[in-house]
Structure 1
Amino acid sequence: MAGSFSAHVLRVTVALFVLQLALLPMMAIASDADPEQDFCVGDTNNPTIVNGLVCKNPALVKASDFMFHGLATPGNTNDPLGSSVTPAAAAQFPGINTLGISMARLDFAKGGLVPPHTHPRATEIIFVVEGSLLVGFVSTNGTLFATTLQKGDVFVFPRGLLHFELNVCDGTATAIAALNSQNPGTQIQAVALFNSGVSEVVLEKAFGLGEKAVQKIEDGVKAANKKPE
């Protein structure tokens, strides 16, 4: 009897192991693919479209291809939201092409907000350089996880979940973000819903709003997300 039970446990264990192996390819495609060479500096002049940028000729690659100066300069926060996000993704920093990482600089005027948004292809971790930020994300069951960060604090936003950052200090604030994708994608929820052409009937029913209220929100979202000159 004991031998039969042990054999059953062994069969179950083997079956679970085989199932785990079968799921590994699915787990692998949940983030950027691993590179198959030392580097693949993106050739931004090549119009060919692939899942990432076409590789620059390795013979033409220089040390400067792996350097990016764009995060040294504060972004322009002179807009209705009072915030600026300066990305260092593959499009701006071709040296990270195929490496599965990117960064961004977040600058905030007093009261500045990076509005609720998602990154469909990346988890994000932020480090507060100056000031204090109210940050948070919402899980798929509607639970809000929010806290106030001070200088030196770090916070993580799980992949694909709605999140935000608000400057709650008396002056300006700055943060640096790192993401585990060379092209994390950003979808601002208000813009996606109220400034993309979604039928007003859909919005009225989804939010329980009247036609005038939807129009007012659409106008407000458009104004709030107007890019600074």
Structure 2
Amino acid sequence: MNDYRYIIFYKPYGVLSQFTKDRPNRSTLKDYIEVADVYPVGRLDWDSEGLLLLTNNGQLQHRLSHPQFGHERTYLVQVERIPDAEALQKLQTGVQIQDYRTRPTKVRLLSEEPLLSDRDPPIRFRKNVPTAWLEMTLTEGKNRQVRRMTAAVGFPTLRLVRIAIAHLKLDRLQPGEWRELTPEEVKLLHNLTKPQKKASIFKP
């Protein structure tokens, strides 16, 4: 275990969650992390920001990615317009995305704009259309799921920042910064992947 590395990275907007380039002008993890042979656990889309976990522990990586364990992922989501109670209820109980219905989700409408670093480049928004921030906690990670969920209830996502994976949080990290996990964080990470009778699925 002593040879394993565990890293959390604050992925900026416009950075691919991989070390190899798909286009010459697109940034990758290699532009920020000078550590060999670590790989992301899951991913964040190119246009999303926030916490990314990387490790060279292949078994842990596989188990954390398995739907069975359903660990929580928390996001700050800026949406166009202000969601009403009906939209929030739909997000909480589950929405239909193509042929898939999402699991129950913790959702709350924030009364204040969260303290986040400015995005580069800034979001594009319409001056005559208000925006709102949601905090959403999911136990699954389908492709572009948060964006598809808010769009399905009529409030498109403008900015998406993952702030936590289970007990791991961004805390004082700034976009582009990374750090090694503490021994206690690693221990809790391994506890997440111990077999359980049921996945950790919450109800709103």
* Category of TM-score, reference length = shorter chain: under 0.3
Relative contact order, CA 8 A, sep 6+: which one is greater? 2
Greater helix share, 1 or 2? 1
TM-score, normalization: structure 1?
Answer: 0.24
